[in-house]
Amino acid sequence: MVKEPVGEVYLSAEVIQTRVKELGQNIATDYRGQKLMLVGILRASFVFMADLVRHIDIPLSVGFMAVSSYEGEGGASGAVRILKDLDEPVTGKHILIVEDIIDTGLTLGYLIRHLDARNPQSIKICTLLDRSIRRIVPLPVTYKGFDIPDIYVVGYGMDYQQLYRNLPSLHLCSVRL
């Protein structure tokens, strides 16, 4: 019998939604009157991004990117491959990258360099979870939902073997990813 990887609730749906609303309101205030484009990093950010945009009461556009990170012996190598790029130009727009969780920063650092080459007005980061203890590449995180220790969670878009993304809360994951 396989042990269920979903453990106790780490962050409840209510706590998450309260913080997402606050982030959305802060983003709306900061970007009012500007050309804002949210760029979600697939797959895990889609739940967070869907909730976030409902709390940003200004006109904005959305786009999605999908990336693959390669790990070599001893951990992340930093090699990144773009699987799905944006469908519209970012030149002159304020880009807000929306992530579910930031760990080492290697993938996000690559994406920032990739997008910056397209001449946006600005690039900032919004993440639900920041696991800064694992950071290798320093990143300026402008909007952060929660700091998280070196633990693994599932739910609210985050998965274990492509399952449990649909849970409304974040749960501890008993399996180390």
Q: Which of 103, 130, 150, 159 is catalytic?
A: 103
Q: Where are the domains of the chain?
A: 15-69+76-152
Amino acid, single-letter form, for residue 117: A
Region for 129 from its dihedrals, namely left if φ exceeds 0, alpha if ψ lies in -120 to 50, beta otherwise:
beta
What value does the mean pLDDT take over residues 137-160?
96
State the pLDDT confidence band at 176, using cuts at 50, 70 and 90: low
- What one-character-per-residue DSSP string does 94-151 give? EEEEEEEEESSSHHHHHHHHHHHTT--SEEEEEEEEE-GGG-SS---EEEEEEE--S-
The second-level CATH assignment, the architecture, of 15-69+76-152 is: 3-Layer(aba) Sandwich (3.40)
pLDDT score at 77 = 54
Q: Is the pLDDT of residue 129 over 70?
A: yes
What value does the mean pLDDT take over residues 88-109?
96
- Asked if residue 170 lies in contact with residue 158, where contact means CB atoms within 8 angstroms, the answer is yes
Is 103 one of the annotated active-site residues of the chain? yes
Dump pLDDT digits (tens) for 70-91: 655 444 555 888 999 999 999 9
Query: Is 138 exposed, middle or buried, given 0-12, 13-18 or 19+ CB atoms closer than 10 A?
Result: exposed
